[in-house]
Amino acid sequence: MKTYTLSIKLLSDALINSGEGFGTIIDSDVVFDDVGLPYIPAKRIKGCLRDAAREACEMLKSAQVISFINLDKSDEDREYKIIEQVFGSPGKELPAPAYFSHLTIDDYENNRQWLKYLTEKYTKEHEGRSGDSPKKYCTGILSRDNILSTFTTIRQQTAISKEGVADEHSLRTIRVLKKGIVFHGEIHALKDDQNTVKLLALGCLNLRRIGTKRNRGFGEVGCKLLDGATEFSIFDELEALCTR
């Protein structure tokens, strides 16, 4: 098994949608953990990278650069064999040959443990009253909302009618990740061969946007595949093939 590092930098604000809102305040929220640190789910990034790799395969085929990787179709003629060999096939009993971890910020585990400790240590219970019965509530220097607000910002949007004015009741509030955040994760490939790593590198090279509202300018990313501390580059080989 070979392990690669996947690095993604947000080049614009991004909405990695959790599929849920935040009470009555936020209609669409980002994915974050129990202390308020954002992350990109493994399943989400795997799907985005698979789509980017498939699109790259189509471009290679159109450019007749088929010698770069094996672009044979599967038996069902639905997918390139190399895509299935790396990302697996939906509905199959066998697991996917490539395993993806969640993408998290630098030094995630250490930061999470310290933030969890500090939020619990400096949170105090106060007595208040709700009607006739006493009620305890918590305040503190740190909270999950405080931590999350460090990485996010709030945006509001409305739908515009044909007359050029905002549609009634169309205001939506979303929470987005701030531009500039860098996430890291791991890809564990069961097959350590050139076709596998080339396909992963192609997917990273072609991955331009992730998340929701990509047609509204959100989710622009820069993606790198690293072998240890070294970026796996395919530019020279592709350029040589294209200039033959």
d(CA 199, CA 80): 11
d(CA 62, CA 234): 18
Mean pLDDT by 10 residues, the chain (244 residues): 93 86 75 94 94 90 76 65 83 78 95 90 58 52 86 82 63 89 93 84 93 86 91 80 72
Q: Is the pTM higher than 0.75?
A: yes
pLDDT at 239: 75
pLDDT at 136: 47
56-to-63, 79, 90, 190, 208 alpha-carbon distances in Å: 11, 13, 20, 22, 12
Residue 238 structure tokens: 């592709």
pLDDT at 151: 96
Given a contact cutoff of 8 angstroms between Cβ atoms, the answer to whether 2 and 149 are in contact is: no
pLDDT at 29: 87
pLDDT at 76: 54
d(CA 81, CA 63): 19
**Strand spans (E) along the chain:** 2-10, 98-100, 123-130, 133-140, 152-157, 172-177, 182-189, 221-227, 230-231
d(CA 118, CA 114): 6
- Angle at 25 (CA atoms; ends 23, 30), nearest 5 degrees: 75
pLDDT at 217: 85
20-to-34, 211, 218, 220 alpha-carbon distances in Å: 15, 14, 18, 22
| DSSP one-letter code for 80 | B
